[in-house]
A and B are shown apart, each in its own frame.
Chain A
């Protein structure tokens, strides 16, 4: 534990935090822009060239808005809700391996904040914590509708977490490890898990859509029907935190999908590049390309698929995805027994 190690980690942490915030910021613009493209419009184009300054303008707007805390709301919990939402969205990035090790100044620098051996479990723990942000916020608002929305979104998140966890078990049976770095390393070249686990990936992806409250599972917000949801009473940057946390969650779940199923930082013919630093940096670029493609897919689906009804949502989660995930586990087990992966 020397000083260089601490500096290295500090730089890495601030870089990752900054990158994820900037990506989330520009995802808001991309969402609006692509929404326009999908509907034969042009999207926001007034703030800066091609509307590139739009996220900044939105940020300034949210910061300068009047901050309202309802009289009967519990102030502490009211503030805690969006903070928790934002916090849990940000800390998931700690276990994601962004690339192979770099060799700089005679040191081996790992592009992962913490290579803990329970990485996948940590991600699930944090994702479950994310429910509290919504729940506390909705309850502290002291508004019947916020509370109902919070209960609804909590039950949605909990239902889909089960299917998500079961779909990942099949993957863990193949990889034999919970560490995200080892899972990434096993998929070197084109040996991606999605080719062995297509059904598991499908279930995991559908559940990610539900966990990040994106269309077709955006019932917690449901802006066309309900005005808001758990954040009806929120204004100013506290509302901004809730909305922003959704975009960070989108980034994080794209990163997790990419690293679990789509080979993470691996790309074909990577062993042909002799310089490890160039190979690693190329890997980082490839990883981010994969993440951005997933984010694009999230947006694409949002502007295509209509929202589920609540009973359909529950039926899909409990009666379709969970049995499918269990079948997938059985199939994977049989596959491992026969082919001995």
Chain B
């Protein structure tokens, strides 16, 4: 039967010759290999001080975007929560009051918007689903924490700061 790959390697057990049996040449060979690695350049990235540059389409922490006037774009339609395969997003909608036009772009907005970062799988479906271009996964790596409550990110952590 022909093998399916060209990587097939027939192993045969043969007697080791004298030089192979005394092991010392093999050990010296191994020592030289490890010594080569000793002087190799380290590939380590010293993480907290030094960060690997992310690729263009890296999906990091979410941010809720504002429009050019600094008003929140999110209109609490719930499409992101609907598209979320991990069911990590919850939100409460509220109606915009007169005089709040500079805060919220549409008449309806999310008064509560929470993402559970322990559930989130950073798939980016919320970003794709959003009709208002209000959510993007353009942030940093999700931070570690000691208690579960720290991982529920509300609007205070998600909304991007107002650009003055």
Contact = CB atoms under 8 A, between A and B. Distances in A.
Contacts of B14: none
A45 B50 CA distance: 14
Contact of A304 (B31, B40, B42, B43): B31
A37 B35 CA distance: 9
Nearest to A39: B37
Contact of A34 (B27, B38, B44, B46): B38
A304 B30 contact: yes
Contacts of B30: 304-305
A38 B30 CA distance: 12
Nearest to B21: A320
A305 B30 CA distance: 7
A40 interface: yes
A145 interface: no
A37 B44 contact: no
Given A304-B27, A305-B27, A40 B34 contact: no
Q: Is the interface of A mostly helix, strand, loop or mixed?
A: loop
A40 B31 contact: no
Nearest to A320: B22
Contacts of A38: 34, 37-38
A300 interface: yes
Given A301-B31, A304-B27, A304-B31, A41 B42 contact: yes
B44 A304 contact: no
Given A304-B27, A305-B27, A42 B34 contact: no
A303 interface: yes
Contact of A42 (B27, B31, B37, B42): B42
Interface string A295-307: 0000011011100
A40 B35 contact: no
A305 B27 CA distance: 7
Nearest to B29: A304
Given A300-B35, A303-B34, A40 B27 contact: no
B19 to A, nearest CB: 15
A303 B43 CA distance: 19
A41 B46 CA distance: 11
Contacts of A300: 31, 34-35
A38 B43 CA distance: 13
A305 B31 CA distance: 8
Nearest to A202: B24
A42 B35 CA distance: 15
Interface of A: 34, 37-42, 45, 300-301, 303-305
6 contacts: A37-B42, A42-B42, A300-B34, A304-B31, A304-B33, A305-B27
